[in-house]
Homo-oligomer: A and B are copies of this chain.
Amino acid sequence: MTTNIFLSEHEMPRAWYNLAADLPHAPLPPLAPDGSPVRPEQLAAIFPMGLIEQEVSSQRWIDIPEEVLALLYRWRPSPLQRAYGLERALGTPARIYFKNESVSPAGSHKPNTAVAQAYYNKLAGIKKLTTETGAGQWGSALAFACAQFGLECKVFMVRSSYEQKPYRKSMMRTWGATCIPSPSSTTRAGREVLARMPDTPGSLAIAISEAVEEAVGDPSGSTRYALGSVLNHVMLHQTIIGLEAKKQLELAGERGPDQVIACVGGGSNFAGLAFPFVKDKIEGAEIEIIPVEPSSCPSLTRGSFIYDLGDMSGMTPLLPMHSLGHEFVPASIHAGGLRYHGMAPLVSAAVEEGLLSPRALPQLECFEAAVAFARSEGIIVAPETSHAIAQVIREAKRAKEEGKEKVILFGLSGHGLLDLSGYESYFAGQLENIELSPEAIERSLACAAAYPKARDFALA
């Protein structure tokens, strides 16, 4: 009866897994504004070549550089833990395991890719990275990684999160980074948004525009932009989570999970845990794989599969993804990391292939689940993670009703110690469920309609 399944360093995976190699249909390329596929060189002003190569790679396994491994060892392999306390509280016959990414220095899965991105930029002689952040998980992860490689770091933080989670900026500052609220008046993109919507809570799409503008606008050419989710190379770096979890489940004596559950915003936490199991599913394993999104920002369950912009002002190529439209500004829910209008192209493609079973859940059920988890297991999770836990509780209760033993694996993407104001608001009864209004959906569909349907390309 083992609670924590640790791996030693020499058992840690030495290569990342690239789902693009195994999807039944080859993934769609990003498109330039004129509709032609983006050539790798066109991305060179934004990303270093090491990452661009990974972005377009169809190689199944990509070696993790030694320098990256050396930093990952600081908190990896991360523990896989059996949730005995939650199982007991629910009286479920299900065996529930979670992969605990909250043990990283920045408190979430984000450093897995931050370290890799800082490494490839350093290798290319870059001196400074810019980025956006929602709840602050990604911004602090990149600040941490930049400190390890001696890179400067500037973070545009979505205003609503900047105000809800003031200590995130202190964290970034402690690692030597600067963090300002977005939209800001320091970029053209930010000023344009402020002129149109002076009271906007901000969005990841806006913050991305600002961060990309600052990177490509550096006349010295030594600044690049880093994205914490959505892109293929980010999904790639996160697969170490699921690769470790597979080994650990084996050590726990399980033949594998029946269900894999993770919250999904841009897609990186979900992809990291799930893609190695998607591979098994493609090869015939019976696994239900569930990405869980907030019902107030339901790109997978209510969005359209289109070629859409990754940001608000058109600094990025068109990406083939499930999207609510790049003009969509999500409500200020506390799960700031899930407030993104689109979805990673690889996650979107896996949905189109019928490999995933997305769900959307309301905020209150998620906070209730988080409190139940804190009291039964002890860990106070991030509001993002609470979406996965709410779904786990639904599935564990169903297993009880059906009297079915099953193995549920979920991703504990991060702790909520910088999100305690959200818990306070929940206890004070100040939170509500936010569903999309019919008008919002109509606006979203109208925005989406102006962009090419990605499915047309997939069929072509």
Contacts and interface: CB of A to CB of B under 8 A. Distances in A.
Interface of A: 2-4, 6-9, 70, 73-76, 81, 84-85, 103, 105-107, 111, 144, 147-148, 167, 170-171, 173-176, 371, 374-380, 417-418, 420-421, 423-424, 427
Interface-central residue, A84, A176, A375, A376, by most chain B CB under 10 Å:
A375
A174 B2 contact: no
Contacts of A6: 6-8
Nearest to A2: B9
Given A173-B423, A420-B170, A421-B170, A147 B3 contact: no
Contacts of A420: 167, 170-171, 174
Contact of A175 (B144, B374, B418): B374
Contacts of A85: 74, 148
A215 B196 CA distance: 59
By Cβ-Cβ distance, the 9 closest A-B pairs, closest first, are: A105-B378, A3-B73, A170-B420, A167-B420, A6-B6, A417-B417, A147-B375, A174-B374, A170-B424
A378 B144 contact: yes
Contacts of A424: 170, 173
Nearest to A1: B70
17 contacts: A3-B70, A4-B73, A6-B6, A6-B7, A6-B8, A70-B84, A74-B378, A85-B148, A147-B376, A147-B378, A167-B420, A170-B423, A170-B424, A173-B424, A174-B420, A174-B427, A175-B375
A111 B379 CA distance: 12
A423 B174 contact: yes
Contacts of A111: 378
Nearest to A167: B420
Contacts of A377: 74, 105
A74 B3 contact: yes
Nearest to A144: B378
A379 B71 CA distance: 12
Give the number of copies in the complex.
2
Nearest to A10: B2
Contacts of A176: 375
B3 A167 contact: no
A417 B144 CA distance: 14
A161 to B, nearest CB: 15
Contacts of A375: 147, 174-176
A416 to B, nearest CB: 8
Interface-central residue, A3, A74, A105, A176, by most chain B CB under 10 Å:
A74
B174 A380 contact: yes
Contacts of A170: 420-421, 423-424, 427
A4 B74 contact: yes
Contacts of A73: 2-4
A147 B427 CA distance: 17
Interface-central residue, A2, A73, A76, A378, by most chain B CB under 10 Å:
A378
A238 B109 CA distance: 30
A295 B81 CA distance: 41
A420 B107 CA distance: 14
A226 to B, nearest CB: 17
Nearest to A103: B103
Given A144-B378, A380-B105, A418-B417, A371 B174 contact: yes
Nearest to A106: B378
Contacts of A81: 74
Given A167-B167, A174-B427, 19 more contacts: A2-B73, A3-B9, A4-B9, A4-B74, A4-B75, A6-B6, A6-B7, A74-B85, A105-B378, A106-B378, A144-B378, A147-B375, A167-B417, A170-B421, A173-B423, A173-B427, A174-B375, A174-B423, A175-B378
Contacts of A167: 167, 417, 420-421
Contacts of A144: 378
Nearest to A418: B417
A379 B106 CA distance: 8
